[in-house]
Amino acid sequence: MRKQVGLGKKKDLTADLNLTPFIDLLSTCVCFLLITAVWIEIGTVEIKQSHGTAAAASKKISYDLDLVYKTATNLQLNLKKNGKRVKSFKVQAPNEEVFQAQLFETIKTNVLTFKNKSIEIATATVTPKSIVNYGSLIQTLDTLRKNEIVNIGILSAKGN
């Protein structure tokens, strides 16, 4: 008789896996994610597009406001009606904090109550120079929003 090679005791192919540590780890991760989801805060800035879409659809006579920076703390406000400048205001201050306060008061007292009438600003465009830092520009946008001007655009001027 011949001896057959490879025939011997067969190994069992089924293996027992201990799933308890895996389930413990998975439940810990789920609990961690559920607890930390409370601290997720989504921030938004609500600004409407100033030109195009619904802003251009209105046919009534409206005022526009152009804010043109001369320097970092020197600004010219141009109030326009039907594309023509009606009135111009200057805001100038020695530092940024005083400048933003003066800008707020000028918009509130001179622009929004033009000719002793309460007016509505349809669009506002801000044209900063390169010397105006990003924080100052954002503070100016916040000042406009505090005065309930929401259709805001930012223009870039060449060579500034």
Q: What would the pLDDT profile of 69-93 be if each residue is shown by its tens digit? A: 998 889 999 999 888 899 999 999 9
Position 82 scores a pLDDT of: 84
The reported pLDDT for the residue numbered 122 is 86
What value, to the nearest 5°, has the Cα angle with vertex 84 and ends 78 and 111? 35
pLDDT surpassing 60 at residue 117:
yes
**Using one digit for the tens of pLDDT, what is the confidence trace for 31-49?**
998 888 877 666 656 666 6
pLDDT of residue 23: 93
pLDDT of 58 reads 47
pLDDT (tens digit, 9 = 90+) per residue, 126-140?
998 888 888 888 899
Range in 40-44, 52-56, 142-146 the model is least confident about:
52-56
* Identity of residue 69: Y
Task: State the Cα–Cα distance between residues 64 and 125, nearest whole angstrom.
Answer: 8
The amino acid at residue 159 is: G
Bridge-based pairing of strands 152-154 and 63-71 is unpaired
Query: Amino acid identity, residue 67?
Result: L
Helices and strands in the chain, H and E counts: 4, 5
- DSSP label at 81? E
Q: Contacts for 53-61 with beta carbons within 8 Å, 24 or more apart?
A: 55/122, 55/123, 55/151, 58/122
Question: Domain 53-154 belongs to what architecture?
Answer: 2-Layer Sandwich (3.30)
CA-wise closest residue to 153 among 120, 118, 128 = 128
Average pLDDT of every residue of the chain: 81
Q: How far apart are CA 98 and CA 137, in angstroms?
A: 15
